[in-house]
Chains A and B, each alone.
Chain A
Amino acid sequence: MLETAFFYLFALLTLGGGVLMITRRSAVHSAIWLIVSLMGVAGLYLLQQAEFLFAVQIILYVGGIMVLFLFVIMLVNLDQAAKERQFVKPWWVALAVLLAIGGEFAYILRTNTGAFRFAVPVEQPPPAGGNTEILADVLFSQYLLPFEIASLLLLVAVVGSVIMARKRA
């Protein structure tokens, strides 16, 4: 019962933050509401016993990416843009695409007996150790190559963004 209550709480945070993010006029307000939404998702991770991802979500998304966003928002001066209209001009095109995707989702939800047939979890003894320990074991044995490729990707991204953002010579 408590778990359901917490699910509703975090789902409300996530969806409320998302709705306010796409409707606020000011970009800074949007970023703040996105942070609220990301915190809600982090709470849902915790509810599903993904403690490591909970910590990474807070540290990397809220502490890293969103601070980067706020820096850039404050570097570009958008005060004047915030007074003008905030939605794209051919709004009916956007609405048509959104309705198409919404219709797909609704169709899948309506045919729920066919769409929601999940694999049954295999009965197995729970692995020893905490969530972070298990993740580390799997990450550094089974997924070692993707891990190394990810580090290479981060290096490329760092070099690329420095080259992109520096002053023209």
Chain B
Amino acid sequence: MMSSVPLSWYLILSAILFGLGIAGFLFRKNLITVFMSIELMLNAVNLSFVAFSYHLKQVDGHIFTFFVMVVAAAEAAVGLAIILTVFKNRSTLEVDEVDSMKL
């Protein structure tokens, strides 16, 4: 049974979502929002993995998406710990002002 939604629609949606993530990453000043934009980009890539997996009728894309999610969880834990430490040391989270990890 062929799907009524073509693969290219999913890929275009994924590209737009990735572009939104890039826009948030580049334009926002708050470190936490920048970090959330990275999560948005990871999700865009996951979406195209799953779309190809569905198109080719194989589960390898699902496995890869699963690993991306695991890495995203690890990244969020470490990244948010770094953000907390930066805030403790500098009491600001603006990317214009936090320009080095050292005090």
Contacts and interface: CB of A to CB of B under 8 A. Distances in A.
Interface of A: 1, 3-4, 7, 11, 14-15, 18-19, 21-22, 27, 30-31, 34, 37-38, 41, 44-45, 47-50, 52-53, 56-57, 60-61, 64-65, 68-69, 72-73, 75-76, 78, 81, 85-89, 91, 94, 97-98, 101-102, 105, 109, 112, 116, 118-119, 121-122, 124, 126, 131, 134-135, 138-139, 143, 146, 150, 153-154, 156-158, 160-162, 164-165
B62 A135 contact: yes
Given A30-B36, A76-B84, A18 B50 contact: no
Main secondary structure of the interface of B (DSSP, over half): helix
B74 A124 contact: no
Nearest to A105: B15
Contacts of A22: 20, 23-24, 27-28, 33, 37
B16 A69 contact: no
Main secondary structure of the interface of A (DSSP, over half): helix
A21 B36 contact: yes
Nearest to A22: B24
Interface in B33-76: 33, 35-37, 39-40, 43, 46-47, 50-57, 59-60, 62-63, 65-67, 69-76
Contacts of A73: 32
Given A18-B17, A22-B20, A34-B40, A65 B76 contact: yes
Interface string B10-30: 111101110111111011111
Given A88-B95, A138-B60, A15 B17 contact: yes
Interface residues of B, number: 71
A101 B41 CA distance: 14
B60 to A, nearest CB: 7
Nearest to A86: B29
B103 to A, nearest CB: 12
A11 to B, nearest CB: 5
Contacts of B40: 18, 21, 34, 37
A61 B69 contact: yes
A95 B5 CA distance: 33
18 contacts: A3-B5, A18-B21, A21-B40, A31-B36, A41-B43, A61-B72, A69-B32, A76-B87, A76-B93, A81-B30, A81-B93, A88-B95, A97-B26, A98-B23, A124-B57, A160-B78, A164-B81, A165-B84
